C-alpha cells in the first residue's frame, strides 16, 4: 500500500515521577468492503433447492432476494420442488415462511395460482394443531368482488384494520375489513416468530375457500 494510505501513528507521553514512557498507537489499515456478487436466477434456484434437501443455508437469503426479481417462474419452480420433496429441512421451512411473511402479497400477485401455494404450504409447514379461530383481514374491494380473497389473516382486528384503511386503499378501490371463522382444517400454519414477536401481526395462513361465516365489517374509500 502507498505510504500516503498508511494511517499516521498517534503519540502519547506519560510521566511517572522521573520516568517518561512513550506510547505509540498505530491503527491498522482496514480492507475496503466489497459487496458479494449477485446470484444468477439459476444459481438462486439451485441454492434454495439444495437448502430444501440438505439444510445448507449459505446464500439462502440472497437466493430468495434474486428469485423475487423474477416474474414468478422461479418461485413457482421452488414451490413445485417443495411438493416433490418428501421432507424439507427446517432451515428451508423457516426461510420460506419468513419470505412469505415479508413479501407474500407480491409473490401471490406474480404467481396467480393460490391452489399451488396452498398445496405447497401444506406440504412444507407443520399442520396447525390449535382450535377454531375468528380471523380478520384487510382486503382490496376489487379482489373481494373477483373472489380472490387472500391467504394471510390475523387474529388481531386492529392489524387487519390498518391494512384495510391503509395499503388496500392505494390501488384505486375501497379497502375492506373482513371477518371470518376458520376451523382448524382451514388453517395451514400459525404465525412465525417474525410475525408474532417482531411485526406483532399474528398472521395465520389459511385456505380462504374453507373459511365460514365470512362477512364485511367496514369499508374505506380509496386514498387520493
pLDDT value at position 18? 55
Provide the residue range defining the domain that includes 140: 133-220
Average model confidence (pLDDT) for the chain? 86
Residue 26 inside a domain? The answer is no
pLDDT tens digits along 205-221: 999 999 999 999 999 99
pLDDT value at position 24? 55
Residue 13 inside a domain? The answer is no
Residue 203 inside a domain? The answer is yes
Q: Which long-range contacts (CB under 8 A, 24 or more apart) does 86-93 make?
A: 88/52, 88/53, 88/123, 88/124, 89/51, 89/52, 89/53, 89/54, 89/55, 90/55, 91/51, 91/55, 91/56, 91/57, 91/60, 92/48, 92/51, 92/52, 92/55, 92/60, 92/124, 93/124, 93/125
pLDDT value at position 11? 52
Both 71 and 97 in one domain: the answer is yes
pLDDT tens digits along 181-203: 999 999 999 887 866 666 667 79
Number of domains comprising the chain: 2
Residue 73 inside a domain? The answer is yes
Both 159 and 216 in one domain: the answer is yes
Q: Which residues of 58-73 are buried (b: 16+ CB within 10 A; e: fewer)?
A: ebbebbbebbbeeebe
Both 116 and 74 in one domain: the answer is yes
Cell numbers given for 104: 407474500
Cell numbers given for 214: 365470512
CATH of the domain at 155: 3.20.170
pLDDT value at position 29? 53
pLDDT value at position 5? 53
All residue ranges of the chain with pLDDT < 70 are 1-35, 55, 194-200
Amino acid at each position: 500500500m502507498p505510504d500516503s494510505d498508511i494511517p499516521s501513528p498517534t503519540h502519547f507521553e506519560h510521566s511517572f515521577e522521573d520516568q517518561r514512557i512513550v506510547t505509540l498507537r498505530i491503527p491498522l489499515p482496514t480492507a475496503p468492503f466489497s459487496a458479494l456478487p449477485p446470484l444468477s436466477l439459476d444459481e438462486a434456484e439451485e441454492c434454495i433447492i439444495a437448502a430444501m434437501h440438505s439444510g445448507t443455508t449459505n446464500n439462502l437469503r440472497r437466493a430468495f432476494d434474486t428469485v423475487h426479481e423474477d416474474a414468478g417462474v422461479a418461485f413457482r419452480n421452488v414451490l413445485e420442488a417443495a411438493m416433490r420433496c418428501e421432507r424439507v429441512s427446517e432451515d428451508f421451512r423457516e426461510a420460506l415462511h419468513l419470505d412469505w411473511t415479508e413479501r407474500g402479497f407480491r409473490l401471490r400477485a406474480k404467481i396467480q395460482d393460490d391452489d399451488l401455494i396452498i398445496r405447497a404450504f401444506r406440504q412444507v409447514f407443520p399442520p396447525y394443531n390449535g382450535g377454531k379461530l375468528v380471523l380478520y383481514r384487510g382486503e382490496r374491494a376489487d379482489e373481494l368482488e373477483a373472489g380472490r380473497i387472500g391467504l394471510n389473516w390475523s387474529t388481531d382486528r386492529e392489524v387487519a384494520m390498518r391494512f384495510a384503511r391503509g395499503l388496500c386503499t392505494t390501488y384505486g378501490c375501497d379497502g375492506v375489513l373482513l371477518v371470518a371463522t376458520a376451523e382448524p382444517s382451514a388453517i395451514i400454519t400459525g404465525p412465525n416468530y417474525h410475525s408474532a414477536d417482531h411485526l406483532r401481526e399474528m398472521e395465520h395462513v389459511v385456505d380462504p375457500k374453507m373459511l365460514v361465516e365470512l362477512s364485511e365489517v367496514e369499508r374505506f374509500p380509496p386514498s387520493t
